Amino acid sequence: MSDLGLAVIIEDDADMRNLLEAVLLQSGFEVCSAAHGRAGVELVRRQNPNVVTVDVGLPDIDGFEVLRRIRDFSDAYVVMLTGRHEEGDVLTAFHGGADDYITKPFRPRELRARLMAVMRRPRYASSSMALPVPDPMPSSPGEVYDELVIRHNGLELNHKTRTVMVRGSAISLTRSEFTLLHELLRVAGRVCSRTRLVRVLHTEYSRYGMYISQVDERAVEAHIGNLRRKLSDNQQYPRWVETVRGVGYRLAPVKAHPQNGAT
């Protein structure tokens, strides 16, 4: 097995598949590929890869359905590749659990950089890769921060085991959702702009300078929306993620909200 593990390419265009194989091999992956969506899903199931690239326009089932099926059993990084530029497609991909979305044509160096950024996300939660901010301090009574666990309003996040519990029940989050939640908890009530959160999700890529588009910011909004849904957080009376209109998001204060089932 190579240093970066195994990558699966699901792409029907032979020229594009060859290009992706070359980029991933040069980056340090072992590579397997499939030309159809169903075959790609089964390949992911058998091989348990670290990274999967999925073309949206596949001949049998489209890439969004491939993504949905992969997410039923795999936590691999999934990067969607497509010639489509519509914002709705981008949001559909992120709502479905994609880690990144790259439009064609793309430069091989950009693809390599974004893959490396995606691959670094799990280490971010337990390393020094975060953007420089002061050490987190409790924003109000009831919030607890220690070396391994952050607790807030009945939620417990362990950034070593990458687990999230709400009132004793485990919550399954994607890497992006976990990273955003960890950042909001980590900075303890400070406002995180959408731009900042984009850079948090792309720590490695942003080192080289990163143009942040409206699509990138919409992706953060989609991840936050998914996070709220999984936490059953009420946007009007939030217990965890509070919107700062026109700016971004912050951790909701310790405060009981009967409408949200708080005690």
At residue 233, the 3 state secondary structure works out as: coil
Q: Mean of the pLDDT values across residues 6-23? A: 94
pLDDT confidence bin for 203, thresholds 50/70/90? low
pLDDT at 18: 93
CA gap 178, 95 in Å, rounded: 14
pLDDT of residue 205: 43
* % pLDDT > 90, the chain: 44
Average pLDDT over every residue of 95-115 = 86
pLDDT digits (tens, 9 = 90+) for 64-79: 999 999 998 998 999 9
Average pLDDT over residues 89-99: 84
Residues of the chain with CATH 1.10.10.10: 124-260
pLDDT category, 61, cuts 50, 70, 90?
Answer: very high
Round the average pLDDT of the chain to a whole number and report it: 81
Over residues 128-185, the pLDDT tens digits come to 333 333 333 333 434 444 457 899 999 999 988 889 999 889 999 888 899 999 999 9
CA distances from 231 to 75, 169, 176, 236 (A): 19, 10, 15, 14
CA separation for the pair 119, 203 (Å, rounded) = 10
Alpha-helical (H) ranges within the chain are 14-27, 37-47, 63-71, 87-95, 108-119, 121-124, 175-186, 194-201, 203-206, 214-231
Domain 124-260 fold: Arc Repressor Mutant, subunit A (1.10.10)
Whether residue 217 is predicted with pLDDT greater than 90 in this model: the reply is no
DSSP symbol at 7: E
Q: Which part of the chain has CATH 3.40.50.2300? A: 6-119
| Residues 183 and 191: beta-carbon distance below 8 Å | no
pLDDT at 243 over 90: yes
At 46, list the tokens.
């058998």
Class of domain 6-119: alpha beta
**What contacts 197, CB < 8 A, 6 or more positions away?**
180, 183, 220, 248, 249
How far apart (Å, rounded) are the C-alpha atoms in residues 128 and 124? Answer: 7
